[in-house]
């Protein structure tokens, strides 16, 4: 998955974009008409447009811009087994909806991941400056519990001979209605948001990136983004405990979220 953003970076450079790796946005210049610049340790970048796509840190960035984002970074993990005889790329991707578990072929073995009922939620303000997601503590027992919950469908995971080749995790951001969060940051002219990936940010990134570029440059996206727009949370305030609980629920019911109430009802 890490190759995808690197691919975007190389493509952007070809179009003349200047990339500043390892240069965090440390603050913002906000004037009477909105965003005027981004402060970094290498100087201030004068700009009237900022897109907050800071993943687990998106809420902190929004705060720095003078807005608020109702998202909670939530640990998500998966494991990949050593190759298993007979497991081939033709295997379908399986989702056991009731158990919130997915299984698919990966490198000759099986990948298993899922959405546990009590995920670890992170307060990004409590992370040390420079924290790398690779430092996130992982807990493989969460995955074995999920594996046991699908032992009827996938008895292979109960085989003591099974070996884990890779165990990884990260910090996707959840919203209360399990939908992406994209659009203008309410109340801060020139500030835009691409957040609330809800563990599905990679797959939509090309389409969402294009639609956001149209929205920023042309005044409207080519796609109807109203269901995932930041506007659905404008003016609503959630107590932190309630926000966490609703985001936990959204994560724990990820595969059933299609029937959830629209966010505005959920927040109200
Ligand atoms: C185990 C696992 C499996 C997943 N599987 C899938 C899948 O199958 N399909 C799918 O679509 N999605 C999947 N996802 C989700 C996907 O990884 C995320 O949706 C995606 O990475 C979100 O991208 P992002 O750019 O919004 O955030 P991130 O990838 O978190 O990037 C945010 C970036 O912002 C940077 N940043 C933070 N603060 C600042 C600052 N102050 N200044 C400048 N930069 C800053 C960070 O360093 C980081 O590079 C999975 C996630 C996990 C953890």
Helices 201-218 and 3-14: crossing angle in degrees, nearest 10, is 30
Residue 67 is assigned to a structural domain of this protein:
yes
Helix H or strand E encompassing 7: helix 3-14
pLDDT value, residue 149: 97
State the greatest distance between any 2 C-alpha atoms of the chain, in Å, as a whole number. 65
- Strands (E) across 164-231 are located at 164-170, 173-174, 181-184, 191-195
pLDDT value, residue 263: 54
Q: Tell me, in angstroms, the distance from the centre of ligand 1 to residue 55's CA.
A: 5
What are the pocket residues of ligand 1 if the criterion is a CB atom closer than 6 Å to any ligand atom? 1, 24-25, 53-57, 61, 76-78, 168-170, 172, 197, 199-203
Q: How far apart are CA 204 and CA 234, in angstroms?
A: 24
242 touches 250 (CB < 8 A): no
Q: Is the ipTM of this complex over 0.85?
A: yes
User: pLDDT averaged over the chain?
Assistant: 93
Same domain, 159 and 29: no
Work out the pLDDT band at 129, boundaries 50, 70, 90. confident
Q: Quick one: tokens of 172?
A: 């996707």
Of the residues 170, 195, 228, the one at which a domain ends: 170
| pLDDT digits 0-9 by tens, 190-237 | 999 999 999 999 999 999 999 999 999 999 999 999 999 999 998 778
How crowded is residue 234: how many other Cβ atoms within 10 Å of its Cβ? 14
Same domain, 131 and 258: no
Task: Look up the domain containing 50 and give its range.
Answer: 23-72+175-267
Read off the pLDDT of each residue in 1-12 and give the average, rounded to a whole number.
91
pLDDT value, residue 193: 98
CATH, residue 179: 3.50.50.60
Q: Tell me, in angstroms, the distance from the centre of ligand 1 to residue 204's CA.
A: 12
Domain count, the chain: 2
Q: Tell me, in angstroms, the distance from the centre of ligand 1 to residue 8's CA.
A: 13
Q: How far apart are CA 222 and CA 211, in angstroms?
A: 6
Residue 17 is assigned to a structural domain of this protein:
no
If you ran DSSP here, which 8-state letter would residue 163 be given? Answer: -
Burial 87-123 (b: 16+ CB within 10 A, else e): beeeeeeeebeebbbbbbbbebbbbbbbbbeebbbbe
């Amino acid at each position: 998955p890490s190759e995808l953003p690197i691919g975007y970076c190389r493509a952007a450079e070809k179009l003349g974009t200047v990339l500043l790796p390892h240069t965090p946005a440390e603050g913002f210049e906000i004037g009477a008409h909105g965003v005027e610049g981004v402060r970094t340790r290498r100087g201030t970048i004068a700009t009237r447009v900022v897109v907050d796509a800071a993943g687990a840190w998106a809420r902190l960035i929004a705060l720095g811009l003078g807005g608020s984002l109702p998202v909670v970074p939530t640990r998500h993990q998966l494991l990949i087994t050593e190759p298993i005889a007979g497991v081939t790329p033709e295997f379908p991707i399986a989702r056991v909806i009731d158990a919130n578990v997915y299984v698919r072929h990966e490198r000759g073995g099986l990948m298993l991941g899922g959405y546990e009922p009590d995920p670890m939620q992170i307060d990004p303000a409590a992370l040390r400056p420079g924290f790398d997601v690779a430092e996130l503590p992982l807990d493989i027992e969460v995955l074995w519990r999920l594996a046991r919950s699908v032992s009827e469908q996938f008895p292979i995971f109960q085989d003591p001979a099974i070996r884990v080749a890779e165990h990884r995790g990260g910090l996707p951001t959840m919203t209360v209605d399990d939908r992406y969060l994209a659009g203008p940051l309410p109340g801060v002219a020139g500030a835009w948001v691409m957040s609330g990936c809800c563990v599905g940010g990679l797959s939509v990134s090309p389409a969402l990136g294009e639609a956001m570029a149209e929205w920023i440059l042309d005044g409207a996206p080519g796609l109807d983004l109203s269901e995932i727009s930041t506007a659905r949370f404008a003016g609503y305030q959630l107590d932190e405990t309630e926000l966490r609980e609703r985001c936990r629920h959204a994560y724990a019911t990820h595969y059933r979220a299609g029937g959830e109430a629209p966010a505005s009802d959920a927040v109200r």
